[in-house]
Amino acid sequence: MIYMTWEVFSIIGTIAFAISGAIVAMEEEYDILGVYILGIVTAFGGGAVRNLLIGVPISALWDQGMLFQVALVAMTAVFLFPNNLLRHWRKRGNFFDAIGLAAFAIQGALFATSMNHPISAVVVAAVLTGSGGGIIRDLLAGRKPLVLRSEIYAAWAILAGLIIGFGLATTPLQLFVLFIGVVTLRVLSYTYKWKLPNRALLQQA
């Protein structure tokens, strides 16, 4: 049952991040090849980095043929959307990113837990899987990564990793409630500009 839940979150995260990457590429006026590249990198970049750090062969990425097909279908659909509808979708870019963050953070934490890694590795896996693809996407698009912006972002992936790492969410129902919670918190954080403490160093005139 947990494996099935892991697969569901993989599909949700792949679709959400593929769409997010495609929207960013079109905002930057990339051609269709750029749309596909940025979408694929967004959908699979975080998982690839996670695999390297927790000891999974990078070749495992190529075993996800079905997820690659799902990503290609999602990106193609977005690319072919009529312009009048796509304008509204662009405004929802952060929402798709929130869905991808939540789904992949939970998926990454479950992956690390299944390998019996300590809670520190579970949290790292959650953060890298949830935000790694978005970081690579934003860097390739010449943007400041969302995870480094003022609105709270990676902290919600850390929260998901801690909850799963401490065994507070183990059943499919609990995991889906956690998913909805992380998406909601991320949406609230960028809607109401919730910020973590920061300190700016101002140069003397």
Q: Is residue 19 part of a domain?
A: yes
Is 205 a domain residue? no
101 found inside a domain? yes
pLDDT digits (tens, 9 = 90+) for 27-57: 899 999 999 999 999 999 988 888 887 777 7
Per the structure, the count of domains in the chain is 1
- Residue 16 to residue 149: CA distance in whole angstroms: 20
Q: Where is pLDDT greater, at 176 or 63?
A: 176
In a domain, 204, yes or no: no
Q: pTM of the entire structure?
A: 0.86
Give tens-digit pLDDT for 70-120. Answer: 999 999 998 988 776 666 665 667 888 899 999 999 999 998 998 999 999
| 178 inside domain | yes
Please indicate, yes or no, if residue 198 is contained in any of the structural domains: no
Structural domain harbouring 99:
2-191
DSSP, residue by residue, 171-198 = SHHHHHHHHHHHHHHHHHHHHTT-B---
Cβ-in-10-Å burial (0-12, 13-18, 19+) of 199 comes to: exposed
Would you say residue 196 lies in a domain? Answer: no
